[in-house]
Amino acid sequence: MAEEHKQGAAPKALAMVICDMVIRDEATKNVTLVGLFNTVTGPRLPLMQDRMHVFVSLTNGHGENPFLLQCKAPDDSVVFEMKGEFEFKDPLAVADLNIALRGLIFQQRGNYLFDFSCGGELLITRRFSVIVEDKK
């Protein structure tokens, strides 16, 4: 059974971005996303991505919210998953989640998905590709 939201409907996803780095200015709380990408490229499989960030922006949430981030391979197997919680103090606020991933290993070429769910409800999906460069 899916985990229920503690206070009503699921939050709304505004965006999910994959990038190399996320910088947050502590004085202004502004966020800079560096090196946005849609593909991971390497010379052979398995391919390891040293670092990547999945940045998710949400709104319309109430209180504490459980989340699940999954990375799924082209064959729908789960490569990675992370569970956690985030909190909304005000439903009009925007909650930004920066999920840093290190050493993610891709065994297959093709289209992968990041699925972000909250309280058991899928809020947003982000596709990216793993490409193996054939050196000739």
pLDDT > 70: percent of the chain: 93
Band the pLDDT of 7: cuts 50, 70, 90.
Answer: low
CATH architecture of 12-132: Sandwich (2.60)
Band the pLDDT of 40: cuts 50, 70, 90.
Answer: very high
Pull the structure tokens for residue 119: 């309280």
- Is 118's pLDDT higher than 50? yes
pTM of the model: 0.89
- Is 38's pLDDT higher than 80? yes
Residue listed under structure tokens 């799924």: 72
Residue ranges per structural domain of the chain: 12-132
CA torsion, ordered 65, 83, 103, 105, to nearest 10 deg: -120
Query: Residue 3's pLDDT is what?
Result: 46
| 53-75 residue pLDDT tens | 999 999 999 899 999 999 999 99
